[in-house]
A and B are shown apart, each in its own frame.
Chain A
Amino acid sequence: MSSTAEKSGAEQSLQQPREKLTFTRFLRAYGTQLGILTVFAAMWIFFIVAAPTTFLAPQIYLAFMSTIPFFAIVALPLTMLVIAGEMDLSFPSLMAIGMVAFVTVFNATGSVLLSLLAGLVTGFLAGLMNGVIVVGIGIPSLVVTIGTQFFWRGAVLVLLGGKGSTLVETRETFIHSLLVGKLWGIPMQMIWLVVIAIGTWVLLNRHRFGANIFVIGDNKQTAELMGINTARTRTLMFGLVGLAAAFGGILASLQVSFFWPSLGDGYLLRTLAAVFLGGTSVFGGVGTILGTFIGAFIIGAIEAAIVAIGLTGFWTQLIYGLIIILSVSMHAILRKRIG
Chain B
Amino acid sequence: MENGYRLELRNISKSFGEVQSLRNVDFKLGQNEVVGLLGDNGAGKSTLIKIITGYHHPTEGEIFFNGQKIDHLTVPKARDLGVETVYQERALAELQTLWRNIFVGRELTNAMGFMKVKEMKAETNRLMLESMGFTSMAVSPDSIIKTFSGGEKQGVAIVRALYFDAEIIILDEPTMGLSLKETRKLLNFVRDIKAAGKSAVFIDHNIFHVYSVADRVVVLDRGKVAGEFMTADITLEALMEKMYRVAETGSFD
Contacts and interface: CB of A to CB of B under 8 A. Distances in A.
Interface of A: 1-2, 4-5, 7-9, 12, 14, 17-18, 21, 25, 28-29, 202, 206-209, 211-212, 214-215, 218-219, 221-228, 285-286, 338-339
B159 interface: no
Contacts, number: 106
A2 B118 CA distance: 8
Contacts of B93: 214-215, 218-219, 222-223, 285
A222 B104 contact: yes
B137 A12 contact: yes
Given A9-B137, A12-B137, A227-B76, A208 B113 contact: yes
Contacts of A285: 93, 95-96
A283 to B, nearest CB: 9
A226 B104 contact: yes
B202 interface: no
Given A227-B75, A227-B79, A211 B125 contact: no
B211 interface: no
Which range holds the interface residue count of chain B?
35 or more
Given A2-B117, A211-B104, A224-B55, A25 B143 contact: yes
Given A208-B109, A339-B146, A222 B92 contact: yes
A12 B135 CA distance: 9
Contacts of B53: 225
B125 A8 contact: yes
Interface of B: 53-55, 74-76, 79, 85, 87, 89, 91-96, 100, 103-107, 109, 113-115, 117-118, 121-122, 125, 128-129, 137-138, 140-144, 146-147
Contacts of B87: 225
B146 A17 contact: no
A219 B144 CA distance: 14
B121 A21 contact: no
- Of the listed residues B85, B91, B106, B121, the one surrounded by the most CB atoms of chain A closer than 10 A to its CB is B91
Contact of A215 (B100, B114, B128): B100
B128 A8 contact: yes
A222 B122 contact: no
Given A7-B122, A285-B95, 5 more contacts: A21-B138, A25-B140, A208-B113, A223-B105, A225-B53
Contacts of A223: 93, 104-105
A225 B54 CA distance: 9
30 contacts: A1-B117, A2-B117, A2-B118, A4-B125, A5-B125, A5-B140, A8-B125, A8-B128, A8-B129, A14-B137, A17-B137, A25-B142, A202-B114, A207-B109, A215-B93, A215-B105, A218-B95, A219-B92, A219-B93, A222-B89, A222-B92, A222-B93, A223-B105, A225-B85, A225-B91, A226-B91, A227-B74, A227-B75, A228-B105, A285-B93
